[in-house]
Amino acid sequence: MSILVVGLSHRSAPVAVLERVAVAGDDLVKLLHDVHESAHVAESAVVSTCNRVEIYAAVEKFHPGVSAITELLSRHSGVPNYLYVHYEDRAIQHAFSVACGLESMVVGEGQILGQVREALKLAQRRGTVGRALHEVMQQALRVGKRAHTETGIDQVGASLVSVGLAGAADHLGSLPGRRALVVGAGSMSALTVATLSREGVGEIIVANRTLSRAVRLAGGAAVPARAIGLADIGAALAGVDIVVSCVGAHGLVLTADMVAPAVAGPDGGGAAGHARSPSSAGGDAEAGAPRRMFFLDLALPHDIDRSIGTLPGVALTGLDDLRTAQDATHAIGPKAVEAVRRIVAEEVAAFLSAARAAAVTPTVIALRSKAAEVVDAELTRLGGRLPDLAAKERGEIEQAVRRVVDKLLHAPTVRVKELAAGPGGDTYAAALRELFDLDPNAPEAVTRADIDETGPSSGEGAQR
């Protein structure tokens, strides 16, 4: 069984395409089941985030697996030209890199760990994941946690927010004393609140569908902050200079109709509407002129209507405008990024080595089982030829024969496990089967029995 990854992300597709193909809810479940029902796929999971849609699968053969998954994903997304494929070793490396945040648009962001975990849980609940894929995704989560614990990769991700807010400073003149509205209460919103606080904004308003989460986020801000529900966003717009949205819901959170009155002010002019903001004390707009506002959309699909950027005095920056910031994030934290890459390389090597060693185990078990059968048969024959043999002597002979067989098999079985851990290790299992004339189906039967008995380590899901 080999691991295969087929998908598209911000690295392979434009933001507009990613926005169109994002799957969630029933659509996500349908895609998961459609892939799993393919005759060429044994196990499947779908990782769907604002920046990627990826199918993780366990397949017997590469080409039929790729063809089946590519056709299904193309049917769901309608954009086959942007798909990429990773197989076996590279698929493992990709899975670990994704979990560490190396493949994210916001390098090092921690939200991806939760998204991978949710993808695994969904696959377990739906019975589409078995041992092979479960082990890969569980190990990816462990590698991701290690990367965040041992390196400063989390801080690298903050650069994308910083780059976005640099545009706010350019548009507004400065950030200290400004008022900001942050829409959403997830990890990206928390990163935004922390960055805005460091930049010295005067007040932050956190808006979220679940008010309690907004309250928690606002309560941890280093500057004055308060929480509101999404229904109160319209009123809040009239008193803020900066709006950052990180929801990623299917549907716009902010429309031009909502923003236009806030830009114009209650009397149709910017000065009056802007007078409530302390940041306007210096008078950065003439009377009657539209007030300046900056919008940063860090969500996919987009939270903010793109036409808002055409309103007088308004600047809008989205993730598609920050594509070049990916290089900046690498420049800001080269040591952290390189440290995570080393961790990934180390963990991939260890995982593949352990997997190769484990692959030979069923053959070793089959060999020992055959040896035990031979010993039992010979002891039975000896008992028939020497029926008067005393029980004590019979026991001594049995122990001696079993010890001889164990000692003869010990060195080759230990050595074959060591050799199997290296590249090309599967050839040693094949050699054992050939040399000892093992039943070709015996190792497979051992593997099936082992899986049927233990199942995935979490106790959820089943081998198909």
When the candidates are 3.40.50.720, 3.10.20.30, 3.40.50.150, 1.10.645.10, the CATH number that belongs to 157-325 is: 3.40.50.720
User: Which burial class, exposed, middle or buried, applies to 388 when counting CB atoms under 10 A from its CB (0-12, 13-18, 19+)?
Assistant: exposed
Among residues 5, 42, 50, 343, which one is catalytic? 50
pLDDT bucket at 270, cuts 50 / 70 / 90? very low
Helix (H, G, I), strand (E, B) or coil at 107: coil
Please say whether the structural domain 2-151 has been given the CATH code 3.40.109.10: no
Q: Which has more pLDDT, 324 or 150?
A: 150
- As a dihedral over the C-alpha atoms of residue 89, residue 93, residue 94, residue 97, rounded to 10 degrees, the angle is 180
pLDDT bucket at 442, cuts 50 / 70 / 90? low
Those residues whose C-beta lies under 8 Å from the C-beta of residue 430, and which sit 6 or more positions away, are none
Helix (H, G, I), strand (E, B) or coil at 149: helix
DSSP character for 231?
Answer: G
Q: Which tens digit of pLDDT belongs to each residue from 104-114?
A: 877 777 778 88
Q: Which tens digit of pLDDT belongs to each residue from 239-248?
A: 999 999 988 7
Cα–Cα distance list, 5 to 73, 132, 463 (Å): 12, 13, 18
pLDDT of the residue at 181: 97
Q: How many CB atoms lie within 10 A of CB 165?
A: 23
Helix (H, G, I), strand (E, B) or coil at 380: helix
Q: φ and ψ at 57, to 5 degrees? A: -145, 155
Distance between CA atoms of residues 336 and 109, nearest Å:
13
Which pTM was predicted? 0.64
Mean pLDDT of 216-227: 91
pLDDT of the residue at 435: 81
pLDDT of the residue at 274: 40
Distance between CA atoms of residues 461 and 458, nearest Å:
8
Judge whether 157 and 104 are in contact, CB under 8 Å. Answer: yes
With residue 366 as reference, give the H or E element that holds it: helix 334-385
Q: Are strands 41-49 and 179-183 parallel, antiparallel or unpaired?
A: unpaired
Mean pLDDT of the chain: 82
pLDDT bucket at 361, cuts 50 / 70 / 90? confident
Q: Which tens digit of pLDDT belongs to each residue from 21-52?
A: 878 888 899 999 999 999 899 999 999 887 78
Domain regions of the chain by residue span: 2-151, 157-325, 358-454
Q: Which tens digit of pLDDT belongs to each residue from 379-434?
A: 899 888 888 888 898 899 999 999 999 998 888 888 877 777 776 666 777 787 88
pLDDT of the residue at 105: 74
Rg of the chain in Å (alpha carbons) = 30
| Catalytic residue list contains 100 | no
Mean pLDDT of 66-73: 89
